[in-house]
Amino acid sequence: MAQILTTPLSFNVRRHPPELIVPAKPTPRELKLLSDIDDQEGLRFHISVFHIYQGNPKMRNKNPASVIREALAKALVFYYPLAGRLKEGSARKLMVDCSGQGVLFIEAEADVSLERFGVELQPPFPCRDELLYDVPGSNGILDSPLILFQVTRLMCGGFILGVRFNHTMCDGFGYAQFMTTLCEMAKGSSTPSTKPVWQRELLCARDPPRVTCTHHEYDEVADTNATIIPIDKMENRSFFFGHTQISAIRRCVPSHLKHCTTFEVLTACLWRCRTIALQPNPEEEMRLMTIVNSRLKFQPRIPIGYYGNVFGYPAAISKARDLCNKPLGHTLDLVMKAKSEVNEEYMKSVADLMVIKGRPGFTKVGSYIASDVTRAGLRELDFGWGNAVYAGHDCHLASFYTRYINRKGESGIIVPIWLPSAAMKRFVKELDNMLAQDNNNPVIIQEHVSPHSKL
């Protein structure tokens, strides 16, 4: 059976007043343009990440909030644009005013230990809004702090670091690079091991701009069937996929696709199960967008140290009927082909499309987004207390695949899924069926008859 991870728990958090942390030294006052990949509508939001650390006897006399606060001021000297504020110019062009106004920081204490979180530590987190408080007036895109930190100390000596950052400023790898510098400063370094690189012009539109690739992720699709589900109508659960679960899914893969990656086969499985669970109209077009890091796709390559957004999210498209009723190989083939589309020309075409079409957002109708952050190095971020026991994104817009070691010592991937309650039950059932497939028996594809319900 698919392992459903839940954490029913409540506790009290006492927060100190929010404060602004400014760079430890004077920094340049200037305007810096974002790239045409950075400022697209689909990235104009704040995204949250949680880092959970156990207590460390060697750090018993250290306050993690004080350590991180001091390190943050030092790191912002090198990443001074993050201490600024976004402005919008003509044609919706975003730029950062490097004003040195600082990032928000909250110190807090909670009357709970990590042991009371239950069997596992993973999303959905209890009292999530208490662990990362939404300071009133702080969550705007323009003229608002670009990062919010909350360090919550626990009774056991461990702590939870919640971070919310403006996605236009950096992607997952850029975030990890900044946080690595923060860890280095916390442990006594005076300069980052990887120097930050701005150079956002590398991902700006050509002159003249010209769309040379197909970008179904930005198609304009009317929500005629009311398929966009409000967040307050959805349930969030996390699923653990270890070697046993991945091997079970791979048994459904046809021989000519056996070279697929773990991300590809898992994403194909989840897209198919999710579509079945949602019971869409059989003729409805369903989209899967996979986040593809394109740093290595450029010649010459994007410089090491570049911390802006360097990813595309190409869309695989299929009729709901085909996703639900054809073997997994059909879905997997679509996922692999979509991922393979992303190259330097593709990214330049996206930048040009943004300028030509007014920086549109991605298509939300019938869409599912999957992102692999298992290689971002989030668990290895060490402020002096050792590696995190959990580190991952918290965002209902996409399923972020996160590395995890459970209490049994099994290494695997945690995937958060957001679905309406009734659909979540069907999702679990369908996933369980797939994980229980017997490789010695022919796979019988049962046609899924949809009642045309979005729930």
Cα torsion for 198, 203, 205, 211, to the nearest 10°? -170
Question: In whole angstroms, how far apart are CA 341 and each of 142, 169, 218, 336, 337?
Answer: 33, 25, 15, 9, 7
What is the bridge-based pairing of β-strands 3-5 and 159-166?
A: unpaired
Is 326 strand, coil or helix?
Answer: coil
Phi then psi for residue 87, to 5 deg, are -125, 160
To 5 degrees, how large is the angle CA 55–CA 130–CA 120?
Answer: 50
CB 290 within 8 A of CB 367: no
CB 100 within 8 A of CB 84: yes
Length of the chain (residues): 455
Question: In whole angstroms, how far apart are CA 167 and each of 44, 86, 328, 399?
Answer: 6, 12, 33, 16
Distance from the Cα of residue 297 to its chain's centroid:
21
Question: In whole angstroms, how far apart are CA 388 and each of 163, 166, 179?
Answer: 14, 23, 13
Q: Which residues are part of the catalytic machinery? A: 167, 382
The candidate with the shortest Cα–Cα distance to 150, out of 380, 406, 394, 398, is 394
CB 239 within 8 A of CB 389: no
Distance from the Cα of residue 366 to its chain's centroid:
19
**Beta-carbon count within 10 A of 306 CB:** 24
Encode burial over 69-103: b for 16+ CB neighbours within 10 A, e otherwise.
Answer: bebbbbbbbbbbbbbbbbeeeeeebbbbbbbbbbb
Phi then psi for residue 215, to 5 deg, are -130, 80
